[in-house]
Structure 1
Amino acid sequence: MQQDVYQLILNYLRGEINAGDRESLDLWRQDAPEHEALFQKLTDKEWIGQQMESMYQDFPVEVGWETLQSKRNMPVAKTRTLNWKPWVGVAAVTVMAVISLLWMQLGKKQVPVSQLTQSERFKNDIPPANEGAVLTLGNGQKVPLEEIHKGKAIPGQEQAALQSNGILSYEDKQGGKTLSYNTLTTPKGNSFQIQLSDGTRVWLNAGSSITYPVSFRGGERKVSLSGEAYFEVAPELDPFIVNTKDMEILVLGTHFNVKAYDNENTWRTTLLEGAVKVQVGREIQLLSPGKQASWERSAEKIETDKVDTEEVMAWKNGLFWFNNANINEVMHQLERWYDIEVIYEDEVDIHFSGTIPKNVNITTVLKTLELTNGVKFKIEGNKITILKP
């Protein structure tokens, strides 16, 4: 059929197509959108002229045509003048050569990407997040912590050291009237743990940052957070305050999780032990253990609900936890953990429930999600494309 259509298009361009062949050609054009697109391309006068000019520049027309004909085992066609443009004979030959080449290149029906095998779609693999972070000192100096040997002090910050267990810790050394601040940042694909000067421990999720005083003083302990972190606050008389862009969490001594990524519309604070006060603007909510306060940027009030704290803390405990999560929610988690770019080639309406370990390569996660038969993925470099099955 490919050769037949090729000949029909040539006859159409020559003005020699009869009524029966014209009907066959029209049926082929109507059979699929890509057929019509190919026909319009191959019969566009301006486009063919451009191809002729290109061919004249790239190689001798006569040699190119003879080579093409020898490969196809066909006799050299007689030159003809197209009815709708007074080209010389060799131009007509060139047009036929262009059409023949393009038909062989474009006329083949490609297999949709979603129909390729997993091994064909998964071009490479991506490892999970590492323990790693960048420490920004008060003078603006940036210290990649993976370059610091465990058990050694941080250059330029005498109160801080990277412990043998990989935790960044600070000694409480009072002195000076001015507070000095450090910022710990975990890029996508990294997580980290820190112990502040008062003994408070903080687990920082991927794609997050926390700013804090090197030593607390002045009757309060205040830090700023962007992203997600779990806090185990050391009990003291001085209140402990966590500020996000629009939310303030006040505690005395407690365990809680804060999720406040700048690129997400909903921010959440979940209490595991003790008591916290969450404030947005003038609105205040007191939380008891097992309760979560959530706030949407478009809303005017804080919502509180009883939640499964095991699900909330899954990220810290090494799990992806999906509870009727849609594809966007799932890919948000993978995007931060594997430092990937997600491309939605198709709209996929599917929800996932279950847990997957976070210490596996991304192909293991994607293969597990594909078992639902509701979605397929393509991996190229750090790009993950979402496809309909």
Structure 2
Amino acid sequence: MDDQIESLIIKFLTKEANIHELQQLELWIGNPENELLFHEYIKANTIMNMSVGKYDRKKAKTIVLRQIRKEKNFLGNRVMKFSFLKYAAAILIGALTFGYFYFTENEKISNPVVSSPVIDNETIKPGSDKATLTLEDGSIIDLDGGKTYQTKNISGNGRELIYADQESSKDIKYNYLTIPRGGEYFLKLADGTGVWLNSETQLKYPVSFVPDSPREVELVYGEAYFDVSPSTEHNGTKFIVTNRSQKIEVLGTEFNIKAYSDEKNIYSTLVEGSVAVINGPSRKELIPGQQSILDVEKNVVAVNTVDVASEVSWKDGVFIFREKPLKDIMKVISRWYDADVVFENKDLETLKFRGVIGKHQEVEHILSIMKSTTIKEYEIRDKTIVLR
């Protein structure tokens, strides 16, 4: 494939392409003479969606062209369409998932000689659906390995846990859902709110909510995406998410919170609707596409406009990184693959990369792509990745 066309595909996926470049890509993909080449490239540079199981040529081309036209319309009108931002990763999860990763600094680290990676064994595997459920009496239920769980009001099929709405008393009973490193899980609360829980996350929530009272849950630590059941369906009651340093008030919306205990910042990203981020006397109201960043040590909140797709893509089976330092990227990878990361070459920590990574591919594939850009060599020993 022509390097220029490959570059256009990468720019499109990372939303860096201008209108002229999108027109070029649309014309090239639409040309029947390029159809075979396009599909061979897709198949050579993708992993198949786990739920689809096979590559659909017609669907892949349709998705690509549809998203290109949406992006052109977005750029041409200069109108912020957050429904598009929300689904910007659709191309990556519908029929195909690209795996590419490239260095974006002006200077590269000298890399004259590379050696074959040292891999002691294959103990580092991609994450999967797994969790532990702690009941109100302290009992712990293992939900790993696709195990099912069924009670009168709770149903679990190994991938998700669903709570049925039930009559509630003022005596609230709480459950905890804990996701280990290398895990993820979906939870549907009794009010109908959907919660996607990322690796190394714990959520505390009531088995049922008290009628006409605020619906409150606690993100003890970690990252979660909330699709909140509207307040109009619950007599106007707010939905509140608390964590160690802030709380978020919601009427009905979709948003993401990242509040890991080993990070100094808490990130709250609004996808749809509206939320108020409250920290002591400070109250910040967000609009779609904005992210609040709470510096826990300084107790200061800043609000920025962000690329929503990059912030929430983890729940849809991909990681999208835009100008992220390698240290931050490897922190994400270490949680998902349940592996420790050691930088023997500290200069690598600050190098910035851009890329899209399918979550269900082997970690060696990701590292080999990095190796083609900046990493001189890497080593895998048991549960540790060493970067040199």
Alignment TM-score, normalising by the size of structure 2 = 0.66
Corresponding position of 2:340: 341
Corresponding position of 1:265: 264
Alignment partner of 1:171 out of 164, 171, 174: 164
Percent of aligned pairs with the same amino acid: 33
Indicate the RMSD between aligned Cα atoms, in angstroms. 1.8
Secondary structure, aligned partner of 1:372: coil
Mapped to 2, the partners of 1:351 and 1:147 lie a distance apart of 35
Alignment partner of 1:228 out of 193, 215, 223: 223
Mapped to 2, the partners of 1:176 and 1:280 lie a distance apart of 30
Corresponding position of 1:282: 281
Corresponding position of 2:183: 190
Report 1 or 2 for greater relative contact order, CA contacts < 8 Å, sequence distance ≥ 6. Answer: 2
Structure 1 gap ranges (5+): 1-113
Q: Does 1:246 find its partner at 2:245?
A: yes
Corresponding position of 1:33: none
Radius of gyration: which is bigger? 1
Amino acid at match of 1:326: P
Q: 1:72-151 to 2 correspondence within 5 Å?
A: 117-119=115-117, 121-125=118-122, 126-146=124-144, 149-150=147-148
Contact 2:130 2:145 (8 Å CA) reproduced: no
| Partner deviation per Cα, 1:18-65 (whole Å, 9 max, x = no partner) | xxxxxxxxxxxxxxxxxxxxxxxxxxxxxxxxxxxxxxxxxxxxxxxx
Alignment TM-score, normalising by the size of structure 1 = 0.66
Q: Give 1:184 deviation, angstroms.
A: 0.3
Amino acid at match of 2:150: A
Contact 1:348 1:375 (8 Å CA) reproduced: no
Q: Does 1:321 find its partner at 2:339?
A: no
Q: Does 1:162 find its partner at 2:159?
A: no
Mapped to 2, the partners of 1:247 and 1:277 lie a distance apart of 10
Q: Give 1:266 deviation, angstroms.
A: 1.1
Amino acid at match of 1:304: V
Structure 2 gap ranges (5+): 1-111
Contact 2:227 2:254 (8 Å CA) reproduced: yes
Give the number of equivalent residue pairs.
268
Q: Give 1:335 deviation, angstroms.
A: 0.9
Seen in structure 2, the aligned counterparts of structure 1 residues 200 and 282 have a Cα distance that, compared at 3 Å, is same
Contact 1:322 1:355 (8 Å CA) reproduced: yes
Corresponding position of 1:7: none
Contact 1:366 1:377 (8 Å CA) reproduced: yes
Q: Give 1:324 deviation, angstroms.
A: 1.6
Amino acid at match of 2:385: I
Secondary structure, aligned partner of 2:144: helix
Q: Give 1:238 deviation, angstroms.
A: 0.8
Secondary structure, aligned partner of 1:316: helix
Corresponding position of 2:150: 153
Q: Give 1:116 deviation, angstroms.
A: 6.8
Mapped to 2, the partners of 1:127 and 1:147 lie a distance apart of 14
Amino acid at match of 1:123: D
Q: 1:201-240 to 2 correspondence within 5 Å?
A: 201-217=194-210, 219-225=213-219, 226-236=221-231, 237-240=236-239
Amino acid at match of 1:372: T
Mapped to 1, the partners of 2:321 and 2:377 lie a distance apart of 18
Mapped to 2, the partners of 1:115 and 1:138 lie a distance apart of 58
Q: Give 1:276 deviation, angstroms.
A: 0.1
